[in-house]
Structure 1
């Protein structure tokens, strides 16, 4: 799995690039938290739930159904998030779904139960360039540094490029007049 910082970084960068009209500050913060939420399933280890079980790590909480449920919660709370019901649903679901999609790009673990409850299969993407992060205190080691460098290369840099492009598009859109001025030479005047 990527680190929780990386999971939160993706919606923060993209949301800030889209601007506060599209993603108000409270929705932005909620999206970053939603992107980290699936890893709350690590409590399963303390509860004696096996890693490969439906409710183990990277199980049900890493499914698209879970992302949709978080999105539905966002839709329910849309007023407190400062946005419309549909925007809250879409943003919260997308931010939550970004978590298992990034985890599927890692080179370790059991994969993600993306299609749970319809399938118990744990999936990886065809390409797994991101180094898997150690869980717990193991992160504070040389392996943790290697993971952060891997995430910088494969997640942070591409996310910043996308965020830069979105920002440029938003700025260009803002400068484009809604109704272009009429050209008196081509109007026949």
Structure 2
């Protein structure tokens, strides 16, 4: 994926978490959950260190697993407790943001699939259907193929963008 869909899911989760809070709180929450939804792709650093794509710590490997998502969720929940925010709510939303990344990548039509079940299995999995085109990595995003992928993701994730960004009346004006 071109990360547009991942960001849209994170923004929608952040908007849900913030509810009718202040604009500042909504923006902070949306940016935080969008960053969590994008976090698994930090594994592209593996290419710099010449870690093979198919290795457990390669691209779409361990960082795309449900166990990784649970670990991040635990850290977020502990941080939320420390910040006097609802830890269960923040932990669940963090899990959804991070876990959605591997699930969405399994819906693409290329690459090696996502190691959703790591460390129990190193198998790279695809969903039964793959409606999303796989995105080129790096400068390939500036190619016609990259622009096509961006267009498909913008359209496919319209519901998430709309939920996250559609203006709502504040509770005080109702």
TM-score normalised by length of structure 2:
0.84
User: 2:15–2:29: 8 Å Cα contact kept in structure 1?
Assistant: no
- Per the alignment, residue 133 of structure 2 pairs with 131
Q: In 2, Cα distance between the equivalents of 1:132 and 1:120?
A: 21
User: 2:10–2:34: 8 Å Cα contact kept in structure 1?
Assistant: yes
Q: What stretches of structure 1 move > 4 A for 4+ residues in a row? A: 79-82
User: 2:53–2:59: 8 Å Cα contact kept in structure 1?
Assistant: yes
- Per the alignment, residue 180 of structure 1 pairs with none
TM-superposed CA distance for 1:158, in Å, is 3.9
User: 2:17–2:29: 8 Å Cα contact kept in structure 1?
Assistant: no
- Per the alignment, residue 5 of structure 2 pairs with 6
For residue 131 of structure 1, give the secondary structure of its aligned residue in structure 2: coil
1:44-55 pair list within 5 angstroms: 44-55=46-57
**Structure 1: 5+ residue stretches without partners:** 176-189
Q: In 2, Cα distance between the equivalents of 1:75 and 1:101?
A: 22
- Per the alignment, residue 78 of structure 1 pairs with 80
- Per the alignment, residue 158 of structure 2 pairs with 157
For residue 54 of structure 2, give the secondary structure of its aligned residue in structure 1: coil
Residues 56 and 81 of structure 1, relative CA distance in 2, 3 Å threshold: farther
1:28-177 pair list within 5 angstroms: 28-79=30-81, 83-154=85-156, 156-160=157-161, 163=163
TM-superposed CA distance for 1:4, in Å, is 2.3
Q: Larger C-alpha radius of gyration, 1 or 2?
A: 1
**Structure 2: 5+ residue stretches without partners:** none
Q: How many aligned residue pairs are there?
A: 167
CA RMSD of aligned residues (A): 2.7
Residues 106 and 81 of structure 1, relative CA distance in 2, 3 Å threshold: farther
